Copies of this chain bind each other. A is one copy, B any other.
């Protein structure tokens, strides 16, 4: 486990979430002690069933908005993986404080708790949405300074800025990953989740937000965890000017929502009549074309091993075997 050779114990916020719970399993696989932290607002205890069997795993139910709880929970850890977040892009305008609190202020709390515990390594899950409606596609990490179009992306950008300033000021080694939408086992929100839910209720009808021409890229969660692992094995931030390394994470291609629907319908063996709500965007702040340039991480040896279609099929298979999630996440 060369990449974690200096580490014994790591801290994961959002540990019971989709990506967090997959990451926890990988970290345990590497032989690390893992402290998982989650308020179980969207995270699921069942996602930690496998990890709970390990004597090296401790779960702490707590909220990242509680700085004191974070400070004491982090004690003795060598690194922090900060994945806890509000991840719902769509409803920011309905609750205009949520992204500020759960993303920006929460990340500030995590950084303060790291300082209080003298922890010097942070991995953060950001989003390709920070590029707004980029004029350059595929979009590289050094794309032109963007305009934010959603409160979600604005809050993630604010988190990135905070992390960068703490890295500069306090010598924290920071890794920021800008994800496209992640799919796969334990996927609990997004268009596949919504479409499958509609098709369970009525396999002959499907309502699609926008006009179906939005183009997006999706990354399989296994490829996402591999990427984080791979970057940490290189520890590239240590040699960068500002102590922080930023990587796009995404698949090598993109698909239209309509093509994604075809894959979903083929996998499920249904043939619904599709109604479009219309407009080129699914909602205000929706980005009609997200496709990230991943040359930077590919140049240090990461490879995306699953196609978007494989990711969608794996997601559907998991949802089919875990219908209970629809009772938990309405």
CA distance A165 to B160 in the complex (A): 16
Within A246-273, which residues are at the interface with B (CB < 8 Å)? 246
B168 touches A285 (CB 8 A): yes
B147 touches A164 (CB 8 A): yes
B169 touches A162 (CB 8 A): no
A162 touches B170 (CB 8 A): no
Within A121-154, which residues are at the interface with B (CB < 8 Å)? 131-133, 141-151, 153-154
A100-B108, A145-B146 known; A284 and B168 CB under 8 Å?
yes
Cross-chain contact of A242 among B144, B147, B242 (Cβ < 8 A):
B147
Closest CB in chain B relative to A64 CB, distance in Å: 15
- In this assembly, does A54 line the interface, its C-beta being within 8 Å of a C-beta of chain B? no
- In this assembly, does A97 line the interface, its C-beta being within 8 Å of a C-beta of chain B? yes
Residues of B close to A10: CB separation below 8 A: none
A104-B104, A143-B145, A168-B284 known; A157 and B150 CB under 8 Å?
no
CA distance A284 to B169 in the complex (A): 6
Residues of B close to A147: CB separation below 8 A: 164, 242, 244, 246
CA distance A132 to B168 in the complex (A): 11
- In this assembly, does A158 line the interface, its C-beta being within 8 Å of a C-beta of chain B? yes
- In this assembly, does A224 line the interface, its C-beta being within 8 Å of a C-beta of chain B? no
Closest CB in chain B relative to A245 CB, distance in Å: 10
- In this assembly, does A112 line the interface, its C-beta being within 8 Å of a C-beta of chain B? yes
A154 touches B145 (CB 8 A): no
- In this assembly, does A96 line the interface, its C-beta being within 8 Å of a C-beta of chain B? yes
CA distance A242 to B133 in the complex (A): 10
CA distance A151 to B172 in the complex (A): 14
CA distance A161 to B152 in the complex (A): 10
Cross-chain contact of A150 among B97, B100, B165, B244 (Cβ < 8 A):
B165
Residues of B close to A242: CB separation below 8 A: 132-133, 147, 149
- In this assembly, does A3 line the interface, its C-beta being within 8 Å of a C-beta of chain B? no
B142 touches A165 (CB 8 A): no
Please report A residues at the B interface, Cβ cutoff 8 Å: 92-93, 96-97, 100, 104-105, 108, 111-112, 115, 131-133, 141-151, 153-155, 157-158, 160-162, 164-166, 168-170, 241-242, 244, 246, 284-285
Closest 10 CB pairs of A and B: A154-B161, A158-B158, A148-B161, A148-B164, A142-B144, A154-B165, A93-B169, A149-B168, A151-B165, A157-B161
